[in-house]
Amino acid sequence: MRHTISVLVENKFGVLARIAGLFSARGYNIASLAVSETLEPGTSYMTIVVEAEDEKVLEQVKKQLNKLIDVITVTDFTKKEHVERELILLKINYSAKDKARLDNIINKYVSKIIQHKGDTAILEAIGDQHQIRGLLEDLKPFGIKELVRTGRIAIAY
């Protein structure tokens, strides 16, 4: 089961390594990780998606994160009302005859074609994990050449 947690940390060198090291040392897998500065200078916000087979592992992850000196707060979104988003960039096969079909799909999601050149188009899309999964599913018939994604970010109400 994948869980989204966010960690408010001191923005110092080595903090990311400390967090990542904590996961690797205990054999926990990070499914995604997104880091950015907050409004307050000196602090950063990390959104981490962690794979935890059970509640106990998740509990340990949170407790171990809290033990790190540079960690200010740990928020677990599992039981919190929140929104999650991810940005994805895709390179897909493109031909003019497919345009209508492609537009249909793109309009279903928060997405657009940023540019197309020759037989390739670059798309961006924003959404929660279900929307992103849906989009990828829908685009499969066109042939996805390459994709990059930011990893999940989340915010609570």
Catalog residues that contact other proteins under the rule CB under 8 A: 9-10, 13-14, 17-18, 21, 25, 56, 59-60, 63-64, 66-67, 69-72
**Look-up: residue for tokens 């829908």?**
138
- Supply the minimum distance, in Å, between the C-beta of residue 114 and other proteins: 37
Closest to other proteins by CB, 26 or 108: 26
Structure tokens at 73: 């707060």
Closest to other proteins by CB, 65 or 92: 65
The C-alpha atoms of residue 97 and residue 111 are separated, in whole angstroms, by 20
Q: How far is CA 96 from the centre of its chain?
A: 31
- Supply the minimum distance, in Å, between the C-beta of residue 67 and other proteins: 6
Instruction: Judge whether 94 and 116 are in contact, CB under 8 Å.
Output: yes
- Supply the minimum distance, in Å, between the C-beta of residue 28 and other proteins: 13
- Supply the minimum distance, in Å, between the C-beta of residue 5 and other proteins: 15
Closest to other proteins by CB, 40 or 103: 40
Closest to other proteins by CB, 1 or 17: 17
Do strands 71-76 and 2-10 pair parallel, antiparallel, or not at all (unpaired)?
antiparallel
The C-alpha atoms of residue 45 and residue 73 are separated, in whole angstroms, by 10
The C-alpha atoms of residue 47 and residue 32 are separated, in whole angstroms, by 8
